[in-house]
Copies of this chain bind each other. A is one copy, B any other.
């Protein structure tokens, strides 16, 4: 074949070398956006490769978001990512809202769910979840069957305290990539990150206490706080740099009895922001000085575009002041509610609370997941998932740039599956939500991400599903709705 053989690509399969050849051509502008790719048949002839190699190369380029198939016309070079949008506006760190005595986020969420159920949804952009098809369902199924055969009495033997040793061992090893170095004995397996955050809050605070949270914040956390009778103090959070440490410092002057701060330092929901290392270090120091517990929710950390995991806040912790919580729900298997935590200096209390609340997790899922996460198949799955999320995110972002009215603000995160869109005018997200719903499109209105009403002109759009013509159409419709509402 004719593509250049340099030493770095020499080990790669033929189809990858062929794909790289065309990638370079696209990067260099030799093939410009909207240009037609050579047909598969032509690739076969030109490069003297098999039909299957030519097809694989095209699929690789398509997966990488460089070309797209048009029905009955072949492959075309995709338009360059041209997201020339205003960056998201920065919050004023001096403007602190009062801690919300507001109780009603459950009602608001219930109302949202009830409304959604009244309409047939054809395109769901509301769920912070990726398509089931993006996860290794079959491999996990096989691991599960192997676990059942290998340990035939697993379903009738009592579960081990704190979680199965196999899984705790694998999690400890994987945590090294996050800059952490936990002892497997320090790890507690939970029913998802949700249970972990519940246990962490119950360990460090009591009903009536005030907890600092990011603003905007995942409504699920507001629901947890409401259900525990705790109050949320919303701390301004930058779409670029995450939780404002300055704002938290200010808040401590007026709220000296703050018990804890719950923070999603990596690919925050809904902002998608990652706290810079310097801010992470500052947050650690500030909270140590004021004896405030940090509850870190690292649900999305592993979903970074460049396969280089952003370090956990916990990796700066030297005093046990950080309770680290994570989940396999978004990264590995949405149908298995598995999470884990390390409790820092609250370890014993958290262990007691877990036992009293739900007893140790069953062994089966843990053993199967330990096998899968201990293998390189897991790494390959993550690489694929990250690539898919990146492509989908860019598609949706491009559509926002194309169809939303001028003045729309947006940062495109480099990981996760969420976009937080600021509408430019007086549009109400509740109104947009209802109009979109009537057209079969589900989105999450900004009002759900705060106890106060400060995000009514925002929308959260999920990029978890494969981009389809139907989704493109939905994005155009959504743009029309937002424009008309302005």
Chain A contacts to B: CB under 8 angstroms: 106, 110, 129, 132-133, 135-138, 140-141, 144-145, 148-149, 152-159, 191-192, 194-195, 198, 202, 206-207, 220, 223-224, 226-227, 229, 333-337, 352-353, 355-365
Q: Name 24 interchain pairs, CB-CB below 8 A, sorted by A.
A: A132-B158, A135-B156, A137-B155, A140-B155, A141-B152, A144-B144, A145-B145, A153-B335, A156-B334, A156-B335, A158-B334, A158-B335, A159-B337, A191-B358, A192-B358, A192-B359, A224-B357, A227-B356, A227-B357, A335-B362, A337-B359, A337-B362, A358-B358, A364-B365
A365: chain B residues within 8 A (beta carbon):
362, 364
Contacts of A358 in B (CB 8 A): 191-192, 194-195, 198, 337, 358
Complex Cα distance A152/B141, Å?
7
Chain B residues, CB < 8 A from A195: 357-358
Q: Please name all residues of chain B whose beta carbon is closer than 8 Å to the beta carbon of A357 when the two chains form the complex.
A: 194-195, 198, 224, 227, 357
Q: Which residue of B lies closest to A363 (CB)?
A: B335
Closest to A154 in B: B335
Inter-subunit contact B227/A352 (CB<8 Å): yes
Residue in A110, A138, A358, A363 whose Cβ sees the most chain B Cβ within 10 Å: A358
Evaluate contact between A152 and B129: CB separation under 8 angstroms: no
Across-interface contacts of A145 in B (CB, < 8 A): 145, 148
CB-CB under 8 A from A129, the residues of chain B are 158
How many angstroms between the C-alpha atoms of A356 and B230 in the bound complex?
13
Complex contact B152–A137 (CB within 8 A): yes
Q: Check A155/B336 contact, CB under 8 A, given A148-B144, A227-B352, A357-B357.
A: yes
B356 and A198 form a contact (CB under 8 A): yes
Closest to A354 in B: B227
Checking B156, B202, B352 against A140 with a beta-carbon cut-off of 8 angstroms, the contacting residue is B156
Residues of B contacting A356 in the complex (Cβ-Cβ under 8 angstroms): 106, 194, 198, 220, 223-224, 226-227
**B191 & A156 in contact (Cβ 8 Å cutoff):** no
Minimum CB–CB distance from A279 to chain B (whole Å) comes to: 29
In the complex with contacts A357-B195, A357-B357, A362-B334 CB distance below 8 A: no
Are B359's CB and A336's CB within 8 A?
A: no
Apart from A159-B335, A224-B356, 12 more pairs, CB < 8 Å: A106-B356, A144-B148, A145-B145, A155-B335, A155-B336, A191-B359, A192-B358, A206-B207, A206-B229, A223-B356, A337-B358, A337-B360
Residue numbers in B under 8 Å from A226 (CB-CB): 356
**A359-B194 CB under 8 A given contacts A155-B333, A227-B353:** yes
Residues in chain B near residue A136, CB distance under 8 A: 156
- Which interface residue of A137, A141, A202, A363 has the most chain B CB atoms within 10 A? A141
A138: nearest residue on chain B (CB-CB)? Answer: B152
User: What residues on B are CB-neighbors of A360 within 8 Å?
Assistant: 337
Find out whether the CB atom of A132 lies under 8 angstroms from the CB atom of B152: no
Q: A156 to B224, alpha carbons, bound, how many Å?
A: 24
Give A191 to B192 CA distance when docked, in angstroms: 12
CB neighbours of A361 from chain B (8 A): 337
Contact status A132-B157, CB under 8 Å: yes
Q: Which residue of B lies closest to A198 (CB)?
A: B357
A110 cross-chain contacts in B, Cβ below 8 A: 352
Nearest 7 A-B pairs (CB), nearest first? A227-B356, A137-B156, A135-B156, A132-B156, A191-B358, A155-B335, A195-B358
- Residues of B with C-beta under 8 A to A206: 207, 229
* Bound Cα distance A223, B361 (Å): 18
Question: In the assembly, what is the distance between CA of A457 and CA of B396, in Å?
Answer: 71
CB distance from A438 to the nearest CB of B (A): 24
| Closest-CB distance, A268 to chain B (whole angstroms) | 20
Give complex CA distance A181, B335 in Å.
30
CB atoms of B148 and A223 under 8 A apart: no
* Complex alpha-carbon distance, A300 and B106, angstroms: 35
Q: Which residues of chain B are near A132, meaning CB under 8 Å? A: 153, 156-158
Which partner residue on chain B sits nearest A329 by CB separation?
A: B359
Bound-state CA distance A106–B106 (Å) is: 32
A352 and B222 alpha carbons, distance in the complex (Å): 13
Closest CB of chain B to A383's CB: distance in Å? 18
Q: For A336, what are the chain B residues with a Cβ–Cβ distance below 8 Å?
A: 155, 362, 364
